[in-house]
């Protein structure tokens, strides 16, 4: 076991920051470190917070982290890791990464770790580095991991595949209930939060969301998504939201759904890794067989299906598929 692995497993914050930086750089050495840490993961509760821009997700994440640190609904205080995804510039590839500024009141808390990450052009609200970074935070001993997605509105579905609990944040006055219905965002919500509930129209927004859930007879593995009203700037309703997250966590454990979701996540992760490795193999093996196959398909010498079958059949394109 490497020194960095041991330091991360011991909760060393500097080592954790170094590992996540390596993950973002796609350093090949990180795969070995994550493999060594694998047995120490799957202890944290992973909460995804998503929604359209302007709904106050960052402020709500900040308030939610404080609630978990304080302890809520008779629960003990918990350590919190925060991954905040920011959109990357299409020109420079950089990002503002301003969440450390917005969450500066948490920065001195040793029980909180905040990391801003650039989306690097990935759709779905997350980046390729998000899931490995979650595993690193989990191995370091953080009990609650909050993922704030980019906030592009209609592509925020990847978080549902990575998180145990998904909070979809709406706000009155932006027509987000209609957008949510159009985008299918309601289908990924374990909890709905109407933030900025001190503004006019909050009750109407909550009723509209409830009507949509009732119309769709929305239940998820025996769980009926609650609709919470919050004012993140003042903390109103945030403790109740934190309690709903913990209630959903208990439901996952009690019903066995959490274990099933963990298996499904592992299966998807393996599929993606196999797909990436296979693609890389055909790009590099035997003079780029993938390019050769594409050339044969473009010249109409074989169909795409025949090319795929030939690639899988020992990579010999001149061999007739079985």
- Residue-wise pLDDT for 146-161, tens only, equals 999 876 544 456 777 7
Per-residue pLDDT tens over the stretch 75-121: 899 999 999 886 543 333 444 444 455 566 777 788 999 998 876 54
Whether residue 23 is predicted with pLDDT greater than 60 in this model: the reply is yes
pTM of the model: 0.83
Contact assessment for residue 99 and residue 82, using Cβ atoms and an 8 Å cutoff: yes
Per-residue pLDDT tens over the stretch 228-272: 999 999 999 999 999 999 999 999 999 999 999 889 888 888 888
Provide the H-helix boundaries in the chain. Answer: 3-9, 13-24, 29-37, 57-70, 99-102, 130-139, 158-162, 176-183, 202-215, 238-255, 257-284, 289-298, 304-312
- More confidently predicted of 321 and 202: 202
Whether residue 162 is predicted with pLDDT greater than 90 in this model: the reply is no
Contact assessment for residue 193 and residue 241, using Cβ atoms and an 8 Å cutoff: yes
> Model confidence at 29, in pLDDT bands (50, 70, 90)?
confident
Which of 208, 161, 207 shows the shortest CA–CA distance to 188? 161
Note the pLDDT of residue 133.
93
Note the pLDDT of residue 303.
93
Between 38-42, 193-197, 314-318, the lowest mean confidence (pLDDT) is in 314-318
């Amino acid at each position: 076991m490497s020194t960095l692995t041991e330091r991360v497993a011991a909760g060393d914050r500097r080592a954790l920051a170094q590992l996540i930086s390596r993950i973002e750089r796609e350093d090949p050495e990180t795969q070995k470190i994550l493999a060594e840490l694998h047995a120490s993961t799957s202890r944290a509760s992973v909460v995804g917070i998503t929604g359209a821009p302007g709904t106050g997700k960052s402020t709500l994440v900040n308030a939610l982290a404080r609630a978990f640190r304080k302890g809520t609904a008779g629960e003990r205080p918990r350590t919190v890791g925060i991954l905040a995804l920011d959109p990357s510039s299409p020109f420079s590839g950089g990002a503002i990464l301003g969440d450390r500024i917005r969450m500066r009141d948490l920065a001195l808390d040793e029980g909180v770790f905040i990391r801003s990450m650039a989306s690097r052009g990935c759709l779905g609200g997350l980046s390729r580095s998000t899931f490995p970074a979650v595993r690193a935070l989990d191995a370091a001993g953080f009990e609650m991991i909050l993922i704030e997605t980019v906030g592009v509105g209609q592509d925020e579905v990847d978080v549902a595949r990575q998180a145990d609990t998904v909070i979809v944040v709406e706000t009155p006055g932006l027509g987000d209930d209609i957008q949510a219905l159009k985008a299918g965002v309601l289908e990924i919500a374990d909890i709905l939060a109407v933030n900025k509930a001190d503004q006019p129209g909050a009750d109407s927004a909550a009723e509209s969301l409830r009507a949509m859930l009732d119309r769709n007879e929305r239940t998820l593995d025996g769980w009926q998504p609650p609709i919470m009203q919050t004012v993140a700037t003042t903390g109103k309703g945030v403790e109740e939201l934190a309690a709903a997250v913990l209630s959903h966590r208990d439901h996952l454990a009690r019903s066995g759904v959490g274990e099933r979701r963990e298996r499904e996540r592992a299966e998807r992760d393996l599929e993606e890794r196999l797909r990436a490795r296979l693609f890389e193999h055909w790009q590099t093996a035997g003079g780029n067989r993938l390019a050769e196959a594409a050339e044969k398909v473009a010249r109409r010498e074989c169909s795409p299906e025949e090319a795929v079958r030939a690639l899988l059949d020992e990579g010999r394109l001149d061999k007739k598929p079985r």
